[in-house]
Amino acid sequence: MIFLFYGGTFIASLICTAIYIYMWHRHFDVNLTMIFTLVPITCLGYALYALSENLREAVLANKIVYIGGCFLQLFVLFCILHLCQIQLKRWLRMTLFLACALIYGCVLTVGYTQTFYKSVTYETTENYFILVKEYGPMHTVFYGMVVLFFLAGLFAIVYSYLAKSQIPRVVLYLLVLPDVICMASFFGGRRIIQYVDFLPLGYVLAQITFLMIAYRVNLYNISDTVIDSMVREQQIGYVSFDFKYRYLGSNDVAKKIMPELETKAVDEMFGYREAERKIRHFLDSFQTSEANNTFAHTVKGDSGDPEDERIYAVKVGYLYDGAHKRGFIITFTDDTANRKYIRLLDGYNEKLQQEVEEKTRHIVDMHDNLIMSLAMMVESRDNSTGGHIKRTSDGIRILMDEIMKEEKYDFSMEFCKNIIKAAPMHDLGKIAVDDAVLRKPGKFTDEEYEKMKLHAAEGARVIHEILRNTDDEAFKTVAENVAHYHHERWDGSGYPEGLSGEQIPIEARIMAIADVYDALVSKRVYKEAFDFEKANRIILEGMGTQFDPNLQSAYEKARPRLEAYYGKC
C-alpha cells in the first residue's frame, strides 16, 4: 500500500515534469526548472524507501529524499522572489545555497557521524518497514532553515501584494499555494495515516500549482511574447554580429532572405567579398553614424518576374546583453506590399504606368544631374582641383575597361556602371570643409590637413542622406564606399578608418588609383604637373603600400590610354 502511494506520486511528478518540458520557454526562471527536476528525484527516493528491505537500503533512499528536503524550499523561495521582482544579491544567493549544501552534506554522513541523526535503526512491522531515528543538532538547523525559507517567501508575497501593483494578482495568489502546501505536508501531514509521509503528495500538488503559474507567466511576459508573435507572424529575419563584425548567428527567415548565411561559419568575420558586401555595407554605414540605420533589400524571384520580387526593410541596431552592448543586430521585415503600393500608387492602367516610368526616368536623370551639379559646385570652391571630377571619371572608365578585360574579378556590368557613375561623387564631402582650408593657395599645415581629411567620412554621410530613399541600393553602396574609403591605403596607413588590404572595398581601391594619378599629372597651386614617366613611377612604387597590387596589371595596360587622354586635356 505504501509503495502504491509513493510510486503513484513519483509517476504523477514525472507527468508534471513532462508537461513542464512541453510548455517550456526560454524565459522561464531557472529556479522553476530546478523545482520540476528535484520533485521527481525526491518522490523516487520515497518509492525506493518503500521497497527497501534492510537498513542500508532505507538509509540510502532517505538520503535521496533529503535532496528535495534540503534544496526544494530554497528554489521555491528563489522562484517566489523572481516572480515578485525582488532581486537578491549574488553573494546572498550563494550563501543560502552553500548553507543548504552544508546541511545535505551532513545528511550524507548518516550512518557514519551523529551530526544529523544521532542514531538510526530499521524496524519491521506486520506490513511496513520503517526507520527509527534520533535527531542530531544539524537536523534542528534543517528545520530552522525550512521555516526561515517559508516565512521569507510568505513575506515576499505579502509585500508584493501591498507595494507592487505591477505584479499580477493571480500569480501572487497561486504562489501562496505551493509555499503553504509544502509546509503543511512537511510538518502536518506526516502522520495522518500511520507510517505514511504525505510530503511527496504535497510536492506534486506544488508542481501542479507551478504549472498554472508558468502558463500565466507566459502571458504576462509581454516583451517576449510580442517578439515571438511578431517574428512568427510577420516573418522577421535577424542576423547578429559582435563588434569585430564576426558572425554570431541568424534565424531561418534571414537565411532564406540572404542564402549566403547558410554557408557562413559562426565567429567568421564579414568582409567585402561579393556575397558579403551588402551586409558589410549595412554595418559600415551604421558605424559611421547611428542615424544610418535603415536600408532596403530586394530579393528577386526565381522566375525573374518583378512581381515575384520581395522587398525588405532593413534596420541595424545594437545587440544588447541586459544593459550592455555586445554587438550589432540586423533585422529584415517584409515591406513588399508597402513598397509596391508606393511605386504603383498612381498606376491605374498600363498607359499611366508607362507615363509614371517615363517621369521616373526623368526624375532619376534630374537626380543624377543634381548630384553632378552639387559635385561641380564643391569643385568650384577648391582652387587646386579644377576639372578633377571629369578627369577622374574618365580615368575610372579607362581603368574599369582594362579590369573587365582581365576577368580577374567577377564584376557585373551593373557594378561597372555604378562605380563610373559614383566617381564624380568621391569628393562630395568637401562641401563641409571650411573655405579658408579648401581654397588655401599652398600646402596645408598639419591642423589644416586634419580638417581636410574629414571630407571622406562626411562625403559618405552626405551621399547616404541624398540617396536615403533610392531603390538602387547597389549604387548607393558603391557611392558611399567610394567617398568614404578612397583615401585608405593598402598598408593601413590611410584615412579615415585606417583599413588595410581587402578590408578596403574594391571600388575605393580602384578610385584611389584614378584619384592619385590625376593629382600627379595635373597642375595644382602647390606644384606643377608631373610628366607621365614620373607619375607612372610613383604609381608603381605605391603598389603594395598605397595601392592594391592586384590592380597593377590593369593599370599598366590602361597607362597608354590614360596618357593619351591626359595629353589632350
Confidence band, pLDDT 50/70/90 cuts, at residue 557: very high
Nearest residue to 205 (alpha-carbon basis) of 5, 39, 377, 386: 39
pLDDT of residue 422: 87
- 131 and 280 co-located in one domain: no
- 356 and 438 co-located in one domain: yes
What is the mean predicted confidence (pLDDT) over 373-397? 69
- 220 and 262 co-located in one domain: no
pLDDT of residue 543: 94
**DSSP assignments along 283-333, one per residue:** HHHHHH-TT--EEEEEE--TT--GGG-EEEEEEEEEEEETTEEEEEEEEEE
Best mean pLDDT range from 179-193, 375-389, 532-546: 532-546
Nearest residue to 278 (alpha-carbon basis) of 483, 505, 458: 505
Q: Tell me the per-residue pLDDT of 92-146, one tens digit each, with 9 for 90 and over.
A: 999 999 999 999 999 999 988 999 998 888 777 656 667 788 889 999 999 999 8
| DSSP one-letter code for 118 | E
What is the mean predicted confidence (pLDDT) over 175-197? 68
Contact in structure between 487 and 495 (CB atoms under 8 Å)? yes
Q: Residue 230 above 60 pLDDT?
A: no
| Phi, psi for 332 (deg, rounded to 5) | -120, 125
Locate 217 and state its grid cell: 507567466
Q: Residue 380 above 60 pLDDT?
A: no
Residue 429, C-beta contacts closer than 8 angstroms, at least 6 positions apart: 454, 455, 456, 457, 458, 459, 460, 461, 462, 483
Q: Tell me the per-residue pLDDT of 329-371, one tens digit each, with 9 for 90 and over.
A: 998 888 887 776 666 655 555 566 666 566 656 655 666 666 6
pLDDT of residue 385: 47
Tally of structural domains, the chain: 3
Q: Tell me the per-residue pLDDT of 275-304, one tens digit each, with 9 for 90 and over.
A: 688 888 888 899 888 888 888 888 887 766
What is the mean predicted confidence (pLDDT) over 70-74? 91
User: Which of 313, 343, 373 is the last residue in one of the domains?
Assistant: 343
State the burial class of residue 202 (Cβ atoms within 10 Å of its Cβ: 0-12, 13-18, 19+).
Answer: buried
Q: Residue 226 above 50 pLDDT?
A: no
- 126 and 211 co-located in one domain: yes
- 212 and 242 co-located in one domain: no
The edge-to-edge listing of strands for the beta sheet with 310-321 is 247-250, 237-242, 324-334, 310-321, 294-299
What is the mean predicted confidence (pLDDT) over 483-491? 93
Nearest residue to 36 (alpha-carbon basis) of 60, 54, 17: 17
- 453 and 507 co-located in one domain: yes
- 419 and 305 co-located in one domain: no
| DSSP one-letter code for 546 | T
| Structural element, H or E, at residue 16 | helix 2-23
State the burial class of residue 284 (Cβ atoms within 10 Å of its Cβ: 0-12, 13-18, 19+).
Answer: buried
* Number of neighbouring beta carbons within 10 Å of residue 295: 22
| Cα–Cα dist 481/459, whole Å | 10
pLDDT of residue 342: 66
State the burial class of residue 91 (Cβ atoms within 10 Å of its Cβ: 0-12, 13-18, 19+).
Answer: exposed
Dihedral angle sign, alpha carbons of residues 398, 403, 405, 410: negative
State the burial class of residue 417 (Cβ atoms within 10 Å of its Cβ: 0-12, 13-18, 19+).
Answer: middle
Locate 178 and state its grid cell: 505551493
| Structural element, H or E, at residue 67 | helix 55-83
Q: What is the CATH number of the domain that holds 418?
A: 1.10.3210.10
Contact in structure between 48 and 216 (CB atoms under 8 Å)? no
Confidence band, pLDDT 50/70/90 cuts, at residue 223: very low
Q: Residue 235 above 60 pLDDT?
A: yes
Query: Rounded to whole angstroms, what are the CA distances from 158 to 144, 169, 172, 206, 406?
Result: 21, 11, 8, 19, 79
User: Which of 208, 226, 244 is the last residue in one of the domains?
Assistant: 226
- 9 and 51 co-located in one domain: yes
Pairing of strands 310-321, 129-135: unpaired
Q: Residue 501 above 60 pLDDT?
A: yes
Domain range enclosing 312: 234-343
- 130 and 156 co-located in one domain: yes
User: Which of 343, 367, 382 is the last residue in one of the domains?
Assistant: 343
Give 415's strand partners: none
- 435 and 409 co-located in one domain: yes
First to last CA, the chain: 108
- Computed over every residue of the chain, the mean pLDDT equals 82
pLDDT of residue 374: 67
Residue 165, C-beta contacts closer than 8 angstroms, at least 6 positions apart: none
Calculate Rg over the CA atoms of the chain. 37
Q: What is the CATH number of the domain that holds 72?
A: 1.20.1070
- 205 and 317 co-located in one domain: no
pLDDT of residue 304: 66
Cell numbers 510580442: residue? 226
Q: How many CA atoms lie within 13 A of 104 on its CB side?
A: 18
More confident residue, 73 or 217: 73
Buried b (16+ CB within 10 A) or exposed e, 484-513: bbbbbbbeeebbbbebeeebbbbbbbbbbb
What is the mean predicted confidence (pLDDT) over 55-68? 90
* Number of neighbouring beta carbons within 10 Å of residue 480: 27
- 172 and 281 co-located in one domain: no
